[in-house]
């Protein structure tokens, strides 16, 4: 039995999962190899032990030429079989029959139809739910579209009436403001004319008063000069 055959035999104990069996075998062998290389002894009760031994330098014979050659000192692995393994190999003890593989295959065969029926039931349930949900979605979509159309129809007249009312209000305010502006302009022009008329006589009287005052002051100055001259001659 080689390594691949050993993995196939172990797969029967892992419910036919070859990857798990390969991983388990490689993990065990790698752990034993690393520990023995360190110099540790790996003992499996009933099966045997693995350890590292020293082989001293010695003289050996070359089988091709027949001459004597000196071999160097080396380290070699050694496996010592356990008592249970020796008894089974010698026939003193018999192992029980392995029925795990048969039971697992029967279990697989029994579970296979159940899985198929479960898959069929799930697919049938999905189809029925999809059929039931399809009409519901269509009716919901129709209701939403109808509601949107009715709201659009209701909002359109409301917008038109609001626009008409706003234009009518603007026209009435423009009509009312026009006469008010005209009357205000007329009042302002009449006030300006009355103020101009009132200010004109006042300006004339002020000018007359100023000219009369100037004349009187000139007469007084002339009389004062004359009297001054008379007094000087005396």
Q: Domain boundaries in the chain?
A: 3-56+71-112, 113-174, 201-234
Average pLDDT over every residue of 203-222: 71
What pTM, to 2 d.p., does this model score? 0.42
C-alpha–C-alpha distance, residues 224 and 211, integer Å: 20
What is the model's pLDDT at position 202? 54
pLDDT tens-place string over residues 29-44? 999 999 999 999 999 9
Structural fold of domain 3-56+71-112 = HU Protein; Chain A (4.10.520)
What is the model's pLDDT at position 219? 79
Question: Rg of the chain's alpha carbons, rounded to an integer?
Answer: 65
What is the model's pLDDT at position 99? 74
pLDDT tens-place string over residues 89-111? 999 999 888 776 444 554 455 55
Per-residue b or e along 61-78, where b marks 16 or more CB atoms closer than 10 Å to that residue's CB = eeeeeeeeeeeeeeeeee
pLDDT at residue 174 greater than cutoff 60: no
């Amino acid at each position: 039995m080689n390594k691949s055959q050993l993995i196939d035999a172990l797969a029967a104990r892992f419910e036919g999962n070859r990857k798990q069996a390969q991983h388990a075998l490689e993990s065990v062998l790698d752990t034993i190899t690393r520990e023995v290389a360190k110099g540790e002894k790996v003992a499996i009760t009933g099966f045997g032990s693995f350890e590292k031994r020293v082989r001293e330098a010695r003289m050996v014979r070359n089988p091709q030429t027949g001459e004597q050659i000196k071999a160097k000192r080396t380290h070699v692995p050694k496996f010592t079989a356990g008592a249970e393994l020796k008894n089974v190999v010698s026939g003193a003890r018999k192992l029980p029959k392995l029925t795990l593989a048969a039971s697992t295959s029967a279990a697989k065969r029994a579970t296979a139809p159940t899985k198929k029926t479960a898959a069929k039931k799930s697919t049938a349930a999905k189809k029925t739910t999809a059929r039931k949900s399809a009409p519901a979605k269509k009716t919901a979509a129709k209701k939403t579209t109808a509601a949107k159309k009715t709201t659009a129809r209701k909002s359109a007249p409301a917008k038109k009436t609001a626009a008409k009312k706003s234009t009518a209000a603007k026209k009435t305010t423009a009509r009312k403001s026009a006469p008010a502006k005209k009357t205000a302009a007329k009042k302002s022009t009449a006030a300006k004319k009355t103020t101009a008329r009132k200010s004109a006589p006042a300006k004339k009287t002020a000018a007359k008063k100023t000219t009369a005052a100037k004349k009187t002051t000139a007469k007084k100055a002339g009389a004062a000069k004359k009297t001054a001259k008379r007094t000087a001659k005396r």
